[in-house]
Structure 1
Amino acid sequence: MAPIDDFTSYEHYLVARQAVTENAVNRLTPTDDQKTILIIIGVYTAAILVLWNMPIAKIVLSPFKLLTVGLHEFSHAFVGCLTCAKIDSIEIDPDEGGVTRMRGGIPMLTLPAGYLGSSLIGAILVMCGFNIMASKIASIFLGVCLLFTLWWAKNWLTRGIGIAFIGVMVFLWWLAHGVGLKYFVLFVGVMSCLYCLWDILDDLVFRKIHESDASKFAKVCGSCMSSRVWGIFWFIISLVFFIAGILIGLAAFKEDQQTQQQQAQGFGW
Structure 2
Amino acid sequence: MAPIHTHIAHILLSRRSLAVNSTQKVTLGVIAAYVVLIALLWNLPYVRWSLWPFKMLVIAFHEFGHAITACCTGGRVKSISLDPREGGVTQMQGGISAITLPAGYLGSSLIGALLIFCGFNIVASKFASIVLAVCFLLTLWWARRDWLTIITVLFAVGLLVACWFIAHAEPLRFVVLFIGVMSALYSVWDICDDLILRKVNSSDASVFAQKYGGSSQCWGVIWSIISLVFMAIGIVAGIAAFPQSFSQQEDDSKHVIPTR
Report the counterpart of residue 105 of structure 2 in structure 1.
115
SS in 2 for 1:52: helix
Residues 3-39 of structure 1: CA deviation (Å, up to 9, x unaligned): xxxxxx8x94xx6665444333211111111011011
- Superposition deviation, residue 96 in structure 1: 5.2
Residues 51-101 of structure 1: CA deviation (Å, up to 9, x unaligned): 222223222111111110011001100111111211100000131510000
* Partner residue of 2:69 out of 79, 83, 91: 79
SS in 2 for 1:147: helix
On the 8 A contact 1:69/1:96 being kept in 2, the answer is: no
Aligned residues: 257
SS in 1 for 2:43: coil
* Distance in 2 separating the partners of 1:95 and 1:21: 51
Range 246-255 or range 45-54, more displaced: 45-54
Range 233-242 or range 202-211, more displaced: 202-211
Residue 256 of structure 2 is aligned to residue 251 of structure 1: no
Q: Which runs of 5+ in 1 are unaligned?
A: 1-8
* Partner residue of 2:53 out of 49, 60, 63: 63
Residue 20 of structure 2 is aligned to residue 30 of structure 1: yes
Report the counterpart of residue 161 of structure 2 in structure 1.
170
Change beyond 3 A, Cα 1:53–1:228: closer
SS in 2 for 1:105: coil
SS in 2 for 1:214: helix
Alignment of 1:99-110 (within 5 A): 99-110=89-100
Report the counterpart of residue 134 of structure 2 in structure 1.
144
Residue 231 of structure 2 is aligned to residue 235 of structure 1: no
SS in 1 for 2:78: strand
* Partner residue of 1:261 out of 250, 254, 259: 250
* Distance in 1 separating the partners of 2:132 and 2:240: 23
Report the counterpart of residue 183 of structure 1 in structure 2.
174
* Distance in 2 separating the partners of 1:116 and 1:16: 40
Identity between Structure 1 and Structure 2 (%): 48
Q: TM-score, normalised by structure 1?
A: 0.90
On the 8 A contact 1:66/1:96 being kept in 2, the answer is: no
* Distance in 1 separating the partners of 2:220 and 2:43: 22
Residues 76-128 of structure 1: CA deviation (Å, up to 9, x unaligned): 00111111211100000131510000101110110000000000000000010
* Distance in 1 separating the partners of 2:108 and 2:118: 15
Give the letter aligned to residue 234 of structure 2. G
Q: Which runs of 5+ in 2 are unaligned?
A: none
* Distance in 1 separating the partners of 2:73 and 2:16: 42
* Partner residue of 1:209 out of 192, 200, 203: 200
* Distance in 2 separating the partners of 1:267 and 1:217: 44
Report the counterpart of residue 82 of structure 2 in structure 1.
92
Residues 226-245 of structure 1: CA deviation (Å, up to 9, x unaligned): 22221111111100001111
SS in 1 for 2:81: strand
Report the counterpart of residue 157 of structure 1 in structure 2.
148
RMSD: 1.8
* Distance in 1 separating the partners of 2:32 and 2:236: 14
Range 46-55 or range 236-245, more displaced: 46-55
On the 8 A contact 2:74/2:95 being kept in 1, the answer is: yes
Q: TM-score, normalised by structure 2?
A: 0.93
Residue 207 of structure 2 is aligned to residue 193 of structure 1: no
